[in-house]
Amino acid sequence: MENFKDAISLFKQTNFSKTIWWKLKVNISGYQNKTEDKLVTEIFKNRIFKLLYPNINKLSNKFSRILIQLYEDGYVCWINLDGLIIEKCDLRKSQNLKNEPFLIADKVKSILKWIKDQAELNNEYLWGGTLGPNFDCSGLIQTAFLKHHIYIPRDSYQIKNFCKHLFYFKESHTSLQPGDLLFFGNENKCDHVGIYKGDGLYYHSSGKVFGRNGIGLDTLKHSNDKISLHYKSKLISAGRVVRSYRWDRTIR
């Protein structure tokens, strides 16, 4: 598909159904609404989505964006029709893997190495960034797992609800294991996430105002570093990824 007319033509080859999925053939951007250029996520080639709006019968050349829901994490966003290259995707029902927690645990070392490699690249914090080298906090964590074929939700508060809860933070972090996720925010909402490396250290992509404007290491141990102290003061809880998101059996 070379332009939005081609995409519309492909969509209309079949009647709209919630069971029809499409595979992306290019990397694209996801936006907050149908008019503004406020990035909320970046979407990799080969990811899968379904059309939410408009109804396929009303889709025409007057639309420049469509509302979609992504298969791998259930995320909803707007995408541009112009430049969209897709193909129909037939999905098989996912199987429930009883040993999934162990399979995920086996990939933790590789996930942490991937994040370390990203941290060594020139990068800066990007709201909505998932493609790299520029990431936001949850974009870094989601992509690290996605690269290892583990699907988790997009936003930090969604990841927090999805993970197996370990504990709420008080003083000690000794029970944390490498690969555990750390959640930050306030009593009302989680708004930041990092991943535990070990020895009190964790990776995260933090912003310009209170952070490092990119991927860095901070500590849970006693420190005089202002950035580490800031995030330590906002620690909420810890969680562990023990399953992969499944469209047919996971409730966000």
pLDDT value, residue 58? 80
pTM for the full model? 0.91
pLDDT value, residue 249? 65
pLDDT value, residue 174? 86
Is-contact 160 252, C-beta < 8 A? no
Tokens of 179: 């690969």
Q: Is 63 helix (H, G, I), strand (E, B) or coil?
A: coil
pLDDT value, residue 17? 46
pLDDT in tens, the chain (252 residues): 345 556 655 555 444 345 689 999 999 999 999 999 999 999 999 999 999 999 877 888 889 999 999 999 999 999 999 999 999 998 876 666 779 999 999 999 999 999 999 999 999 999 999 999 999 999 999 999 999 999 999 999 999 999 999 999 976 788 999 999 999 999 889 999 999 999 999 999 999 999 999 999 999 999 999 999 999 999 999 999 999 998 766 544
Residue from 104, 200, 111, 195 nearest 156 by CA: 195
Domains and CATH numbers, the chain: 4-89 (2.30.30.40), 100-240 (3.90.1720.10)
Backbone phi, psi, residue 212, to 5°: -110, 10
Helix locations, the chain, DSSP H: 4-11, 100-105, 108-119, 137-146, 156-162, 226-233
Q: Which residues contact 53 (CB under 8 A, 6 or more apart)?
A: 66, 67
pLDDT value, residue 94? 62
